Each structure stands twice: as C-alpha cells, then as structure tokens.
Amino acid sequence: MRKGMLLFLVAGLWVSSLAAYGNEWLTISTPHFKIHFQPQHRAWGTATATELEKVRSQVLVEQSRALDVIVDAVILDPFNLPNGYALPSSDSPLMVLYVTPPQSDMEIAHHQSWLQLLVLHEYIHLVHLSQPSRHNNKQWLRDLNDGYDLATAALPRWVAEGYATLQESKLTGKGRLFDNYSEALLRAFARQGALLPYSALNFGDGSYRASAMAYLLGARFLAWLEKRHGEDTLDAVWTRLVAVEARGFESAFSGIFGQTAQQLYRRFIAEFTYQAMQEEQQMAPSASHEFMRFPFAARGIQLSPNKRQFVAVEIDRERRTRLSVYASEQNDQALTQFNQQQAALLAKDPSDIPDKVPDSFLHEVLASYVPVNFSGVSHPQWANEETLYFVAMNKTNSGNRINDLYRWDISNNHAVRVSHNLGVRRFTFINQTEIIAERVHNGLSQLVRFNLETQTVADLLAGSLHTAFDYPVMDGSGQRLAYLKQTPELGWQIHIAPINSLQKSNEVVPLPEYTQYVTAPRWHNKLNILYFIAGRQGELGVYQYDLSTRVLRLLNTGGHVFEEVIGHLDAQLLFLESTAYGSKLSALSVPQHAGTMVKTKLPRNTTKLGTDNSAAQWQISPYQAIDQDWSATMALHGASASEYSLGLGFTGSDVLKQISWQVGANLSPSNAFLKGGYADLKYQAQGFQLHNALSVFDLNLDRQAGKRLTERTHFDSWSNSLELTTSREGDKWRWQPSVGWHAEKQTSNLHHSYWLGSRFSYLHDQQTFALGANVDAAYIWGESQGHRVELGGYAKLWEWPIILKSSNRYRTSAALHLGGYSINSIYEGFSAAMVQGAELPFFFATGKHYLGYEFATSWQLGMPRLFIKRHRLDSKFIAQSWGAKWQLDLSRKVLGNAAQFAPAGVSNLRLDIGLSRVNSDEFEDEWRAWLGIWHAL
C-alpha cells in the first residue's frame, strides 16, 4: 500500500510539474508600478506598464494626487470575463486586471480600449482610497496592521465605485457616465420612479440591475455635485477624509456641502426624474405590445428553426441561472385558468371585482437545464428542434475558468462538453458541423471557425490588444456574416462580409448620426435586411437596414431599453427589453417599409489611441518573491472548557503568495495556562507547495478554567513538520497528494514520523441541489505509526445544506490526546497527536484509536451551523455535544477571491465560534462556548 501511494505521489508531482512549466511569473518595474504577469500576457503587461505611468501623470496633473508607494498590478484571466479590482492598502496598494475584453452589449463596452479603461478605473480606486492619513499615529497603526489599514481605507461602495466611474469618464471622454445604454436604462427606471433610494445605493435592494447602480447612479450623482457645487468642493471631501481630525464619509461630506449626502441625493433623483419625464413628453407612443414577461432577468433569447419554441437564459433574484425552453404560442391554458379563478371568485362573492387580465402570461415551459458547479450558461443557439448548443465555463488545468461549448439534447436532458479550452463567447452556425465564433484567448478577441466534430480551429479575423469582436450572425443563405468589431478609432461598428473572404471585403453598416451604442444584429429570415439596436442621445432604438436600397429606418424607440432583437414571429418582430422590474419580451408589427428613415453617417476616425513606444524601455525580469509585505497580527482564543489565550505575531508574504511566513507567540497572561510560539514558512510555485511549521507549547493543565479533570497536569512539547504538496483539479474534483516529515519532542523523547497523504474533494452543484465529498487520508509510519482518515459528505436539498463528517485516527504505539481548540502553537497536521475539540478541555482523554462523527446543517453554506458531534476513544464513549458553531475562512468571506492577493495580514484570517451542550460520563451535562480569531498560514 505504501509503495502504491508513493507511486501516486510521484506521478502527481511529475504531471503537475509538466502542467506548470512555462507558467512562471514575470515582472515589469516602472518608476511607480510593478506589473506581474505570465508569459501569455506579455503584450498586456508591457502595455499596462506604459498606460499606468501615463495615467499616473494625467491624474497628478488633474487632481494633484498620486501615490508615493510602489503599486503592484497583477494581470490575470481567471474567469474568461472582463473585470478587475483594487485593494487600497496605504502601504502596499494592489490592482488585479482581468484581460478579457467586454462584449458590445455590456455597460463597460464604451471605451477606446479595455486595457485603458480598466487600468484607469482601478488606478483611480487606489489613488482615491489609498491616501495615507495625516494623523501620524493612525497612519503608524495602518502601516502596522493590514486589516486596520484596509478597513480604514473603505468608503461606501457607491462613493468608491461612483468616483472611479466618474473619473474614468472625465479622463477618457467615454466610460459609463457617457454610455448611451446606461443613460437609457436610468432614464427608463426614472420614468417608473424606480431609481434606488440612498439607503440601497451601495448594494442594491435585490431589484433588477440594482447592484450596478453604485456605478451608474453613483457616478451621475457625483458629476451632478461637481456641476452644482464645483469640482473643488467634492475634492475637498477626500482631503477631509484623511485629516488629523477623525471623520467618516458622512461627516466629511456634510461638513463641506452643508447638507447630508442623502439630502442632496434626493434632490439629484428629483431633478434626474424631472428631466426623464420631460423627455417622455416628446416621445412618439410605442407601437409594441408585451409578448411575455420573465419572472426576473433573461438574456440570450433564440427562436428555434421552426419558431415553435424559444430558449432563454434566465437568472433569478438569488442569481441562480437556468436555460429554459418555452413554447412560442400564447399560453391559452393559463388564460383559461385565470378566467376560471375569476369566475369562481365572482361565484363566491358576486359583489367582488375580479383581477384585470394581465398583458401576458408566462408561456409553457417545455424543458429546462440547470448548470453544474456554477458554470454559468450563455449564448444558446439551436442546431435543430431537439438540440441546443450553449457556452458554459469550465476549469482549466491551471485552475482558471474558460468558456467552452456544450451540446444539450433536450429530449433526454443530457448536456455534453463539445470544445476544450476554446474561450468561446457568441457564435453562429454555418452548417451542421461548423460555427463561426468570437473567441477570447489570453485577452485577445478574434473570430474563428470551429469544427464541432474534428475540434479544429481556424482563425478568420485576428485580434489585437485594443480591438474586440462580438455577435457573429450568419444570414439565411449561409453566405454572409454580420459581426461587430470594436476599434479605438471607430468604437463598435457592424460589418458585413462574405464568409469565404472575410479578410478581403467587408461592408460597414452606416449608423444614425451621433450613434454611440450598437449591438445585437439580426438578419431577416428571407429579405435582405439586417436589424440591430443602436443608441443616441440617451435613448435606444431598433433599426432596420435594407441592404438592397441602403436605407436605414428607425422602427421603434418609445423609451424602451432594448437588449436583443429576437426575430420575426407571425409578422411581428420580437425584441427583449429591460424594465425596472425585470426582462420582458415585446412584439412590434413591422411592415417591410415601415419606420422612420434615418440620416446616416459612415464612421470616420475621430479619435486615435496614442501610440507610445516607451514599453521598449521597461525591463522584464523574473518575478521576485523576496519583495515581502509584512504586518503585525493579533489572535484571541477562549473556551469555557479550557482557558483563554492571546496571541501576537508578525506575518508576511509577497504579492503572489509564493513565500509566506508567520512568527508569533500565544500566552494566557493571567494564569500562565498556555505559553506557546510558532514559526511557519510556506513556499509555493509551479504547482508545488512546501510548508514548514515549527511550534512550541507549554500547557499547565491544572490551570484550565474550573479545574477541569484531565489525565495530566502539565505537558510541554515542541514539534517541527515539513510537508510537500501538489495538486491537480478537474471540473468537479481536486486532488492534493502530500508527503511529510514530523519531529516532536515530548519531555525528553524525540519522535520522528513520516507520512504519505492525499486530500481529495468532489462537488456536483446544481444550485438548488448539490452533492459533495472529501477524503483526507494519510498513512503514517515512524514513531507515530498509524493512519488518519477524515471523510466528509455534503448535500444540498432544495437549498438546505447537510454536512456529515467522520474522523478515524489510529496510532499503534503513540498516544492521541483529545480536547482543546485550534491554535498556531499546537501542530494539527496529518501526524498530530492532538485531536481538537474546543468544547472539551485540553488533554481531556488519551487513547490510540479515535473515532469522531458529526452531523451539521444550516440555512446557507458559509453561515453558522447547528451540529451534533460524538467522540469515541479506544471503543469507549467519551463525549457528545450539540449546539451551534461558525467556522470560516474570514478573509475569503469578506474579500472573496481577492483574498489570494490581499496583503499578508488579511489573507488568512480564521474565525471559530460556538456554543454547545456537552454530555459525558465524566461530568454533569453543561453548556460550553468558545471563540477563536487568528491568522493561520
């Protein structure tokens, strides 16, 4: 068995080293920034370096603000989607930039270059929030502790995001403040009285599109404040926030504006709504009617080839996604049922007044598919009436996620993965076996031809750093392709070209004058007509371009927030729109030559992205993990079953966490129950992790609270363990084989032991239902010979999580000690002699064979759990406890995946709190509680 495990380990290490080869990190150092990237993002890295220095100079001139410390920028593509974030530490500010560019219908699509917009937005966050305090003692504390530093830098979300959005727009002339789509959306919401109140501006109120309002409304409110009170007045708020006098945002704001932010926001909303209502007076009445209203959000609507059904990607309030196939015909059964209900109502009470007939009923749902492991679903396309292709995210070998094609056979509700690591987004069928798709690979958008059977990819139109493609759509004849292309000079434009000579000839569709937003092209089934959505002057419209006559007509505006043109159904043109209450399908009756003729304008180069060759001067060097950021840490442990202790220490790491370390001490200052210390060092790179943990402790067990009975009165020990781990992961599983050495000295004996271990976890999550398992197993030999097997099961039934755990530890000659809480000074790895149980005193029981079982449940994963737990040693019942507890990785809970790049002092915080009733034969049943807040490497 030992040989088999060793073989597995060696194979795992070898495969991991192959996978990691070529992924080494590089760094560009400029006077004010360090840009870290992998070789595949070299072009992004050099362009980012140039752009960051340019932006810094620009902001310094405009605002007289800059950061005096070096800013780290990490370039990544973890989810194959556009995003980025900033962590505004005052001594180690960091930004993370995702390279995938946005699609044409996103709010962030209005830019000259995604790189420019992203770099500017994140830099503004840092220069805005990372300013050091002018209170010397406060700043000294910020420098000392990363948690305090980041918490002090925080501002209300609408302020931080609104200001970065305002500046991104002012400095580029583009961005979300000047984005036509965003403006149309807000005006439509204003006309419904649906703009968010001040109290919901930060995180929304759960309503449709509410989470985007911190950016969209925040930026407009701040722009309104600047216009009304002057730029200097708003700027003074930021100066007042870092003053010697302690001020929060509200007092810094009201002190200079003379009114609270809430009062001024209400006035802003009133004025914005008034303008939106005035514009409504000028609008032509809408010629459309409601076809179907979705329960919440929907996108990616596609009619099937025979138009008897349509598919939609639906998202509910809890962000659960599903792919639904609806019948196209009206739901007569729902209407009949409604009428019957009203009739029954009147039969019961003839004086009652029945409900008004709704404008539409939800159509019959014919089939639905729920994505697995939150892989998302987007851009569905019909292959035939029974088969749909769609895009979903998958894990790659590096742990990143990438978009791939899936085929869903509707009749047997089975989905299979079609492509591997393609990075596909929107696509269109050329024939039964080939598609043309927009692909984003390493941040470069391109149009490719992909064969579904042979998996071959042929480049059609190559992308560059500042261009992007979107919405390839094939016409009815299968000869011409319409697609969107974004360039710094022209923005988004619709191109039409024969598919056999895409590079050689293409026609640019003329757009209405002053068009700023264009998306969603759709061919007429038979006629030589292309429909699309375009925006100008704060409104959106559906346009029809006749390629035979070269005439462009506006079919409908009417204040709609058009999202997608769906196509013709029974002489009506269907479109998807956003309302303040969710997504809605509407229908428009359009004779061929209806609509207003529109004056068009062929695109001309209006702006040009500055070319800067300074990239050549930046030195690219291998990433240096030796550049360490450090922080002081504090810990607090307390348990009514044992005793409390306090901890002080230091921790440090580089940006990518290749080298992490911590040293510190734990003490019970009042009664010397515990004296302990620890020194951990972790190195990880290229798929490997090496962790050395040194710990020392001295426990005076007779000083535990309430003089708990234990088998010993004093115990002291030091131990050192060294563990080498590697990992492999797939869509649903993760495997971490490890090998380790452990030396432990108790009284005068030094024990050596070694282990081969394996951690395996599996998760199948269909949002409402989930099933997961994990196995942590190790074979230990040496003086602590034995084994350790931890089995865990997890199920989610109708959103209700259930967790089962069992622990089996055995030693042939050494002893296992049960009781006490987790603390850095006491080793608890694979070959540990201690079995933690915070509800029991340290060293409550000793034996050779430990068995533990636990059942837990909660209302939501990651929240406090109700549990029942049972301990057995050497086949004897020791204790049983039940109660509530909350154990979590605090950094991940607060910062999400940004925790992996967070400053050392906030990247590994742990919380363990609980209250339980403990039963044992050794003492009377009693309630026990515990609390632990500490920093674990």
Contact residues for another protein, defined by CB under 8 A: 83-88, 122, 125, 129, 145, 147-148, 150-152, 154, 156-157, 160-161, 164, 199, 248, 250, 634-636, 638-640, 644, 646, 669-670, 705, 886, 890, 894-896, 898, 906, 909, 913, 915, 927-931, 933
Q: By C-alpha distance, which of 659, 651, 652 is closest to 625?
A: 659
Residues 544-577 as b/e (b if ≥16 CB within 10 A, e otherwise) read bbbbeeebbbbbbbbbbbbbbbbbbbeebbbbbb
Whether residue 639 contacts residue 823, with contact meaning beta carbons closer than 8 Å, is answered with: no
Q: Cα–Cα distance between 501 and 517 in angstroms, integer?
A: 27
Distance of closest approach, residue 110 Cβ to another protein, in angstroms = 17
**For residue 751, what are its two tokens?**
């024990």
Q: By C-alpha distance, which of 911, 284, 290, 932 is closest to 644?
A: 932
Distance of closest approach, residue 604 Cβ to another protein, in angstroms = 34
**For residue 247, what are its two tokens?**
């001020």
User: Would you call 140 helix, strand, or coil by DSSP?
Assistant: helix
| Structure-token match 């005096």, residue found | 68
Distance of closest approach, residue 252 Cβ to another protein, in angstroms = 12
Q: At what angle do helices 261-282 and 213-229 cross, to 10 degrees?
A: 100
**For residue 588, what are its two tokens?**
């428009």
Looking at the chain, the number of H-run helices and the number of E-run strands are 13, 53
Distance of closest approach, residue 182 Cβ to another protein, in angstroms = 16
Closer CB to another protein, residue 12 or residue 88?
88
Distance of closest approach, residue 923 Cβ to another protein, in angstroms = 14
Distance of closest approach, residue 148 Cβ to another protein, in angstroms = 6
Which residues touch 793 (CB under 8 Å, ≥6 apart)? 772, 773, 803, 804, 805
**What pairs with residue 529 in β-bridges?**
546
Distance of closest approach, residue 263 Cβ to another protein, in angstroms = 13
DSSP string computed for 362-409: PPPEEEEE--STT---EEEEEEETTEEEEEEEEE-TTS-EEEEEEEEE
Distance of closest approach, residue 170 Cβ to another protein, in angstroms = 18
Distance of closest approach, residue 147 Cβ to another protein, in angstroms = 5
Q: What is the DSSP letter of 133?
A: P
For 295-349, the three-class secondary structure string (H helix, E strand, C coil) is: CCEEEEEEECCCCCEEEEEEECCCCCEEEEEEECCCCHHHHHHHHHHHHHHHHHC
DSSP string computed for 592-661: TT-SEE--EE-------PPP-GGGGGSEEEE--TT--EEEEEEEEEEETTS--EEEEEEEEE-TT-SEEE
Distance of closest approach, residue 190 Cβ to another protein, in angstroms = 24
Distance of closest approach, residue 895 Cβ to another protein, in angstroms = 5
Sheet holding 561-569, edge to edge: 288-293, 582-589, 572-579, 561-569
Closer CB to another protein, residue 160 or residue 598?
160
Task: Tell me whether residue 478 is exposed, middle or buried, using C-beta atoms within 10 angstroms of its C-beta: 0 to 12, 13 to 18, 19 or more.
Answer: exposed
Q: At what angle do helices 213-229 and 231-241 cross, to 10 degrees?
A: 120
User: 845-847 and 865-873: which strand pairing?
Assistant: unpaired
Closer CB to another protein, residue 583 or residue 907?
907
Closer CB to another protein, residue 283 or residue 636?
636
**For residue 915, what are its two tokens?**
């209250």
Distance of closest approach, residue 636 Cβ to another protein, in angstroms = 5
Q: By C-alpha distance, which of 268, 105, 272 is closest to 187?
A: 272
Q: What is the DSSP letter of 356?
A: P
Distance of closest approach, residue 262 Cβ to another protein, in angstroms = 9
Q: Cα–Cα distance between 411 and 665 in angstroms, integer?
A: 63
**For residue 273, what are its two tokens?**
């709504």
Closer CB to another protein, residue 644 or residue 697?
644
**For residue 540, what are its two tokens?**
């959106």
Distance of closest approach, residue 155 Cβ to another protein, in angstroms = 9
Closer CB to another protein, residue 147 or residue 559?
147
Distance of closest approach, residue 160 Cβ to another protein, in angstroms = 5
Q: Cα–Cα distance between 415 and 368 in angstroms, integer?
A: 11
Q: Cα–Cα distance between 213 and 186 in angstroms, integer?
A: 9
Distance of closest approach, residue 628 Cβ to another protein, in angstroms = 21
Q: Cα–Cα distance between 710 and 846 in angstroms, integer?
A: 9
Query: Alpha carbon of 64 to those of 239, 608, 654: distances in Å?
Result: 11, 26, 30
Closer CB to another protein, residue 390 or residue 644?
644
Q: Cα–Cα distance between 5 and 735 in angstroms, integer?
A: 13
User: Would you call 463 helix, strand, or coil by DSSP?
Assistant: coil
Distance of closest approach, residue 867 Cβ to another protein, in angstroms = 16
